[in-house]
Amino acid sequence: MEFAIVDIETTGSSSKGGGITEIAVLIHDGESIVQEWQTLINPQQNIPGYITGLTGIDNAMVRNAPTFEEVSDELWELLDDRVFIAHSVNFDFGFIREAFLKIGKELTTQKLCTVRLSRKVFPGLSSYSLGRICENQKIPILARHRAMGDAKATALLFDRMIKDRQDVVLSSLKRNTGEAFLPPHFPLTKFKQIPESCGVYYMLNAKGKVIYVGKALNIRERFKGHFSGQVLPQLKQQLKAEVVDLQWQLTGSELMALLFETLEIKRLWPAYNSAMKMPKTLFGLFQYQDGSGYYRFQVAKVTKNLLPLETFFSSEEANLFLKTGIESYQLCQKLSGLRKVTCEVIQDQTCLGACKSAESPEAYNARAEAFISMIKKSKRDLMLNLPGRETGENAYCYFEGGMLSRYSYLKSADFPEPDQLEVVPKVPETFYILRQYIHQIDLDRIRVFSAS
């Protein structure tokens, strides 16, 4: 048995509307890496600025690169009849599978996720991101957020797991069809109909009542994940016993899935969805300038005397938001209160040297101000243009004061007027979803209105 360890870079998060900009594949024969392959790809669409900031891949680099179709035969030979492995495998597999479908081929190889394997082999870690696991296992990542750099790190991680815990890898291969874990009253024919696409899904009981609403990048994999494993909490045991049917609505993007899931939970209040409760303690993201002139960020509890840039339900949510902003705008984790040592010590490629004064305050602060500006924009009325559910379609979402108030799917590339969209009830949680994603969206897809 051979394994194809894959990493890709893309123009965005949706396999339906996004394109691939770089692919790396390493072939592992169960003992060692026996072949390496990589190439830049012309995605035949614009690469957003925040993606260039994250990966270093810009439009000029891929202008003369081959298209996916031009390398498809060579790539197919590498992947066919091998186990497809990646860190968060559904992301990489979804993009490549979609690209093959566009040229009339369907990739159906077995796949393994090194995130899931790592949870079993290295239990108890606070995070299972590639960077954090490799840091824990002292595996170097020579070029973070580039396909070959991340692929080699994933290959070294997999090599360690298959040699130390081959039983975990083999048992995962046997189980990854998921059919053995279906609920007792859920038909296999229905399971095979579940799409491997992004959307919202509804679990129904024998009376046809919705008992659970969820969202997923891959609905089939997420449904399978509800019932996988040997031990289930009591509530999941009850859910498994009750569910007899599944319905779904595709959304085209993860952001739309999150928003729609929130609206549907508030509308239906299914028995197995935890109620959304407001915490008593709020956390804030604060900003100040240090003695050397660099902008700094800090997460702390909100008090009546200090006004934060943003508020959060928990410190974990605040830190996740800050980390996403750091990656998107190439800021420094040390200057943002998330790390005590300089970024050079752990080879963090996001930081450009501000924590050791290798970058001027002016250059660093320009990116920090862009991050702050995007946070402030999210508090104004705005409309987002997001990928649709099919080619030629877009999802338009209108936010008033940060909360979703209207949305529609339209076959139009131009922003409509707000009153052309369907009105939905305002749900406070949509404000926090918008804030989490706003700085990941290309500015061309945002239309800002007057402040609420």
Q: Residues with catalytic annotation?
A: 145
Among candidates 329, 201, 210, which has minimal Cα distance to 272? 210
CA dihedral 248, 252, 254, 257 (to 10 degrees): -40
Spell out the SS3 assignment of 226-266: HHCCCCCCHHHHHHHHHCCEEEEEECCCHHHHHHHHHHHHH
Look at the alpha carbons of 295, 301, 303, 309 in this order and tell me if their dihedral is positive or negative: positive
- DSSP single-letter state for residue 47: P
Please identify which residue in the block is written with the tokens 């994999």: 221
Among candidates 300, 439, 299, which has minimal Cα distance to 368? 439
Per DSSP bridges, beta strands 245-250 and 295-301 are unpaired
Amino acid at 49: G
> Which H or E run includes 394?
strand 394-400
Separation between Cα atoms, residue 335 and residue 296, nearest integer Å? 5
The token pair at 278 is: 């407001």
